Amino acid sequence: QKEVEQNSGPLSVPEGAIASLNCTYSDRGSQSFFWYRQYSGKSPELIMSIYSNGDKEDGRFTAQLNKASQYVSLLIRDSQPSDSATYLCAVKKNTGNQFYFGTGTSLTVIP
């Protein structure tokens, strides 16, 4: 079983819609969760960190964490063509210093 799983997509949404990206993780002891955006040919860029159950909002982005279900999601409101990228979910366990990444979900926002 993979440590972190994401639907690879591709996910397509029209401009202005809400894009919903999902991630599940296997280790119930995980404590820190991150979403990265990666444009083609570029490096991953941190967009959200979340450490406790519930929602965390930053501009058009909302991260949601449900530890009981071992589920993390990212909502992008008012999606823009510039949001078209691959989104990586990352998880850090309570012990050790390693981060575990999903394989990413490709998002396309259609003008």
Partner 1 sequence: DAGITQSPRHKVTETGTPVTLRCHQTENHRYMYWYRQDPGHGLRLIHYSYGVKDTDKGEVSDGYSVSRSKTEDFLLTLESATSSQTSVYFCAISGTQGREGPQHFGDGTRLSIL
Look up tokens 């296997």; give the residue: 26
**Is 87 one of the binding residues for partner 1 (CB under 8 A)?**
no
Residues 6+ apart with CB under 8 A from 65: 33, 50, 51, 52, 53, 54, 55, 56, 71, 72
Which of 12, 15, 26, 31: binder of partner 1 (CB under 8 A)?
A: 31
Q: Between 98 and 111, whose beta carbon lies closer to partner 1?
A: 98
Residues contributing to the site for partner 1 (CB under 8 A): 31-32, 34, 42-46, 49, 51, 88, 90, 92, 97-99, 101-104
